[in-house]
Amino acid sequence: MELTTKQFVKDFKERYFNKYSNEYTTGTDEQLYYALGTLIRSYASKGWKNMRDNYIDNRRKQVYYFSIEFLPGKFLLKNAYNLGILETVKEGLKELDLDLDRIVEIEPEPAIGNGGLGRLASCYLDSGAALGLPVHGNGIRYKYGLFKQKFVDGHQVELPDNWLKDPYPWEIRNNVSAVTVRMGGNVWMREDGIGGLEPVYEDTLDILAVPYDNALIGYNEATTNNLRLWSAEVTPEDEGKLDKHSRLQIKEINENLYPDDTTYEGKRLRLKQEYFFVSAGVQSVIRQFKKYDLPRKQIPDKIAIQINDTHPALVIPELMRILLDEEKLSWERAWEITVNTVAYTNHTILSEAMETWEIGMFKELLPRMYQIIEEINRRHVQEQLPLYGRSLTYATQIIKDGQIHMAHLAIIGSHSTNGVASLHTEILKDDSLKQFYEMFPHRFNNKTNGITQRRFLHLCNPGLTELITKKIGNEWKTNPSELKIFKGQETNKQTLKELEKVKLANKKRLAKYVKEQQGLEINTDAIFDVMIKRLHAYKRQQLQLLHIIDRYLRIKVDGETDIQPRVFIFGAKAAPGYRFAKQVIKVINELANLINHDDEVNDKLQIVFIENYNVSKAEYIIPAAEISEQISLAGKEASGTGNMKMMLNGAITVGTMDGANVEIHDYVGEDNIYIFGMDREEVRDMNWSGGYNPREFYETNPRLQRAINALVDGTIPNVTHEGRDIYDAFLVHGDEYYCLKDFDSFVHVQEDVDKLYQNKTEWNRKSLLNIASAGPFSSDFAVARYATDIWNARPVHKAKKD
C-alpha cells in the first residue's frame, strides 16, 4: 500500500490519542505496541473486506486448512512487511523518537502450537496469501498457549503462558458468525415426514463457538485471508440456567493447548476440543458456501478442506452430518461430496502418534458422530471385503479392537492422503499405511514441506537478504527458485567475504541476546552448532550429548589443544509428562554449567540451552547457525522444517538420510552436506534381524564407553538418576534409536566439519551453495503444489513484483 512517513506519523499520533486520551510521549511500551498494532491492522482492513467480497462475488474456490495447532509467531513486523510499509513505519517511529525493536519485544507470541506441525500450518497460510490463493486457517483460540519453559536447577519447569492477558490487536471477535456445537446427551432417529429420518437430540451440552478472526495479509497484498480461531462460550439461551459443572465443561475447551491426556478426563477433553473446532469450522464453511447460491453437489468445486494430521479428521463425519441431517441429502450423495472435499496430510511415522479413541468415551461424548462413523465403517467393509479379502479389509477398518482409528477414517473419507517428504511418503506407502495404499493407490501423493522465506530470511536476516539482492537482484524474493543464480557467486572471493561478515554479525546479535537473557558470554569466533526442535528420543538430542561429552573429555582428560572451538546451541521443550526428554534437558544443562565455568575448556567448548524456545527465539538463532543438526534415526522424522530454515540461512547440515534431509542432500549435493549413520534400509534390516546389541559398541569403542560412563560416574555434577536413566536407555533397554551404532560415524563427520572450518573460504563456499539450493523448499512452491494437485484452487490475481 502507499503510505508516506508523514501520513503514518499523523495516523499514529491520532490513533494513540484516541485510544488513550493522551500524547504518545506518555505511552508505556505496551500502549505503544497496542496503538501501533491496531493501526497496522486498520491499514489492512480495506484489502481484507475487498477480498472477502471478491471471493463471494466471484464464487471463488476457497481452501480451509483445519489444524489443532498454529504457530504464527509475532504479527507486527510481518504484517507491516507484507503491506509494504515496514520501512515507512521504521522511519516514522524514528521521527517520533520511538524504538521499534522495543515495541516488537512487547508483542506476545501466540504459542498455540507445539512444533513443526503448527509452524508448517502458519507457513502455508503465509504462502497461500502471498500467492493470492484463498487459503484460510481454522483452529482453536487457546487461552493459554504451550507452557513457558523455565530452567530451575537445570530442570525444565512449566509455567502458564497467558498470551491473551492484554487485548490482542490482531484479532476481531466476530459475534455474528458464532455457531452452536452440540455434545453429549442422547440422539435417536425418527421419521422426518418426507420419507427420511432425522435425529432427535436430548440432554446435549450446547456450546456457543465464537470466532476470532485474524487477517492473513499476503506479501505485496496479493490477497488477505482469514485465520479463524474459535472460542467456547455459554449459549445465550443457557445463560443463567447452566449449572457450575457444565459451565466449567465449556470453559475448559479452549483453556489449554494440551490437556493432560494421561487421564480419562484429559483424553475426553482433547476429543471435545477436536470436535469443537471441527464442528464450528465445518458449519461456518457451509454457511460461506450458501452465500454462493449454488447446488450442494458443487461443494467440492468451491470448497477444499485440508486436514492437518488426524486431529481434525472429524471433519468427515461432521460434513456428513450436515449434509444428511440438515441438507437432507442421501448417504451416497453426501459421501461423494465429503470425499471430494476433504484431503488429509499425515505428519508422522511413529505408530504411538497415530490417534485412536476408545469407543465408549467417543460414543458417550459424540453419539451422532459415532453413528455416522459406524455406518462409514460398515459400508467400507461391505465394499472392500469382496475385493481385498478379510485380512486386508480388517487391517483398514475404522472401528476395531474397541478403538476408533482416526488415520483410517481420514484416508477412507478423503480423496487425497499425502506424506510430507518423499522418504516419508514412501514409508507410508510401503510400510505404515501399506494396506491403504493397496486399496487406494491413486489417493496417495507426496507434498514435501516448505518454509516461508519471508519470515525465515527476509525479516529475520536482513543482512543476508540485502547481500543476495545486491548480487542477483530482486526476483528471488517472489520466486525463490531464482536463488539458484546465487550459485554463480560461489568462487567470488568478495561475495564469500561479505557472506562471512553477515554471518558474524548475526552471531554477534545472538551472542548479545544470550548475554542479556541468560548472562552467558559466548565466543563468536567459534562454530555455532545448532540443534533446535522438540525434545524427543527419536530426534536424538542424547546423541549430540554424547558427542559433546566426548569433546569435553578430549580437552579435559586427553589434553587435546588443537580442537576447533564450538558453541553448542540447543532450543527445545519437552512434553511435561515425558520423563526421558526432561532428563536429557537436565543433563545438558548440568554439562553446560560444568563446561561454561571451566576455564580450561570454555575457550574451546560452550553450551547454551536457550530457555523457552519459540518462533521468536528461532528468528534470532537461525540466521546465526553455522551447523544445522538433523540427526534423527533414519525413518523416524517425517520431514523436518528447521533443516530447511537453517539451510536457507547458510548453515551446513550434519544429518542422517531422514525426512527432508534426503531432498536437501539431493539439491545441495553430497559435498555440501555431512551425512552420517545408518540409512532407512539399514535401520529396517537391523530391526528385522533383531541382532542389535548396543553393548558390543560400548565395549569395543573406548571413546563411546568413556562418554557413556560420564553420565553415571560423577563427571557431570548434580546429575544422579537422570544420567543413570539415559545410560540405561542405551545399555539396558536396548538403545531403541541406535545412538551407539551411529556414534562413531557421527563423531567422525563432526571432525570433518571442524577441518573444513579451518578453511574459511571453502566453508563460506559451501554455505553459499546451501543458500542457493534452498529455493525449492519455499512453502510458496509447496502450497502451489497443494493448490494444483489437491485443491484445484487458483489465485485471485498474481502478486505484484517488487
Provide the binding-site residues for ligand DL6, judged by CB under 6 A: 115-117, 120, 309, 347-348, 350, 353, 420, 449, 637-641, 659
Q: How far is the CB of 321 from ligand DL6 (least distance, A)?
A: 27
- How do strand 197-202 and strand 527-532 relate by DSSP bridges? unpaired
Q: 586, 717 in Cβ contact below 8 A?
A: no
Active-site entry in 533, 551, 554, 636: 533
Nearer of residues 551 and 636 to ligand DL6, judged by Cβ? 636
Do residues 452 and 778 lie in contact, with contact meaning Cβ atoms separated by under 8 Å? yes
Separation between Cα atoms, residue 247 and residue 634, nearest integer Å: 47
CB of 642 to ligand DL6, least distance (A): 8
**Min. distance of Cβ 722 from ligand DL6 in angstroms?**
24
Nearest to 637 by CA among 356, 406, 420, 345: 420
Catalytic residue among 495, 641, 653, 656: 641
Reply yes or no on whether 798 is catalytic: no
Give 349 or 708: the residue with its C-beta nearer to ligand DL6. Answer: 349
Pick 41 or 424: Cβ nearer ligand DL6: 424
Catalytic residue among 268, 321, 471, 539: 539
Nearest-approach distance from CB 420 to ligand DL6, in angstroms: 4
Least CB distance from residue 141 to ligand DL6, whole Å? 20
- The active-site residue out of 347, 455, 547, 604 is 347
How many angstroms separate the CA atoms of 310 and 412, rounded? 12
Indicate the residue among 454 and 645 with the shorter CB distance to ligand DL6: 645
- Catalytic residue, chosen from 636, 645, 706, 766, is 645
Torsion of CA 354, 355, 358, 363, to 10 degrees: -150
- Measured from the CB atom, the residue of 348 and 396 that comes closer to ligand DL6 is 348
CA 183 – CA 205 distance, rounded (Å): 5
Q: SS3 helix, strand, coil % of the chain, rounded to 5?
A: 55, 15, 30
In the complex with ligand DL6, the residue whose CB is nearer, 638 or 787, is: 638
DSSP-assigned letters across all residues of 426-481: HHIIIIITHHHHHH-GGGEEE----B-HIIIIIIT-HHHHHHHHHHH-SGGGT-GG
Closer residue to ligand DL6 in complex, CB, 348/649? 348
Return the number of the residue (157 or 350) whose C-beta is nearest ligand DL6.
350
The DSSP 8-state label assigned to residue 801 in this structure reads P
Task: Tell which residue, 76, 17, 91, has the closest CA to residue 41.
Answer: 76
Closer residue to ligand DL6, CB minimum distance, 376 or 774: 774
Residue with the three cell numbers 562413531: 744
Tell me, yes or no, if 645 is annotated catalytic: yes
Cell of residue 439, nine digits: 486399496
456 vs 120: CA distance, rounded Å: 12
CA-CA-CA-CA torsion for 501, 503, 508, 513, nearest 10 degrees? Answer: 150
Residue 517 Cβ vs ligand DL6, minimum distance, rounded to whole Å: 27
CB of 135 to ligand DL6, least distance (A): 16
C-alpha 561/C-alpha 336 separation (Å) is 69
Comparing CB distances to ligand DL6, the nearer of 115 and 211 is 115
Residue 158 belongs to what H/E stretch? Answer: strand 155-161
In angstroms, rounded to a whole number, what is the distance separating the alpha carbons of residues 761 and 665? 21
Residue 641 a catalytic site member: yes
Catalytic-role residue among 228, 368, 471, 534 = 534
d(CA 752, CA 541): 20
- Least Cβ distance, residue 640 to ligand DL6 (angstroms): 5
CA 14 and chain centroid, separation: 38
Look up residue 345 and give its three cell numbers.
496430510
SS3 call for 276? helix
CA nearest neighbour of 763 among 651, 604, 654, 605: 651
Measured from each CB, the residue nearest to ligand DL6 is 116
For residue 534, indicate whether it is catalytic. Answer: yes
Residues 472-481: contacts with CB within 8 Å, 24+ apart? 474/801, 474/802, 475/801, 476/775, 477/453, 477/802, 478/130, 478/219, 478/220, 478/799, 478/801, 478/802, 480/453, 480/774, 480/775, 480/776, 480/778, 480/780, 480/781, 481/775, 481/776, 481/778, 481/781
Catalytically active residues are 347, 533-534, 539, 641, 645
